[in-house]
Chains A and B, each alone.
Chain A
Amino acid sequence: AQSVTQLGSHVSVSEGALVLLRCNYSSSVPPYLFWYVQYPNQGLQLLLKYTTGATLVKGINGFEAEFKKSETSFHLTKPSAHMSDAAEYFCAVSKAAGNKLTFGGGTRVLVKP
């Protein structure tokens, strides 16, 4: 079975500061890894994904994540937070391309002016 753990249900950052959201996973097979963002009462928008190849993945809105197999991690970062980054972020894993997703518990990001 697969599982995803997101450390910290809430993260508060100042505008312009580094955003770091942690995600660790367990998987019996090479994983496909995703980060999604959710704004209130909306669906999920894909930020970035790792399938194969380069372990540093760049996504939309200035976000990037690095797949570290030895640490079973896929942490999400953004160098400089913007007020519009305030949202809920979910890390997810799947066994194969387009397969069902297992989500982490989510991390709510608050950006302080």
Chain B
Amino acid sequence: GAVVSQHPSWVICKSGTSVKIECRSLDFQATTMFWYRQFPKQSLMLMATSNEGSKATYEQGVEKDKFLINHASLTLSTLTVTSAHPEDSSFYICSARGGNWSTEAFFGQGTRLTVV
């Protein structure tokens, strides 16, 4: 299958700082990328959907000014957690879909964010 690389795999930051997480499709062009959040021992919750070159569509209850998503190229999307607080600590996972013909999206390895 196609490869999606997510970086960093883990990060610890101080309260009030911003953290950027990258999601790259390595061997295909990702027209759509999805960002999920997973709390410990829970399921994945979709945060937003981004299409290359356009603004992300956020799910209800997700603060777009806090979770900035950029999808500037067909191989890269970034999620920036701004002014992070301890409650933002979570596991963030991206997935990428390559074109309208694709019936599945491929997942990155996830990023464990800890805000102290």
Contact = CB atoms under 8 A, between A and B. Distances in A.
Interface residues of B, number: 30
A24 B49 CA distance: 25
Interface in B92-110: 93, 95, 97, 99-110
B107 A98 contact: no
Contact of A43 (B93, B100, B103): B93
Contact of A100 (B9, B49, B103): B49
Interface in A76-113: 90, 97-98, 100-106
B109 A43 contact: yes
A82 B42 CA distance: 24
Interface stretch (A15-23, A44-52, A64-72): A44-52
Given A101-B46, A104-B43, A43 B104 contact: no
A32 B34 contact: no
A42 interface: yes
B71 to A, nearest CB: 14
Nearest to A88: B41
Determine the interface band of chain A, counting residues with CB < 8 A from chain B: 20 to 34
Q: Say whether chain B's binding surface is mostly helix, strand, loop, or mixed.
A: strand
B108 A41 contact: no
A74 interface: no
A36 to B, nearest CB: 8
B103 A51 contact: yes
B112 interface: yes
Q: Could you say which of A34, A101, A105 has the most chain B C-beta atoms within 10 Å of its C-beta? A: A101
Interface in A27-66: 32, 34, 36, 41-46, 49, 51
Interface of B: 1, 4, 6, 9-10, 32, 34, 42-46, 49, 91, 93, 95, 97, 99-110, 112
11 contacts: A41-B112, A43-B6, A43-B93, A45-B107, A97-B101, A98-B102, A100-B46, A101-B46, A103-B44, A104-B43, A106-B42
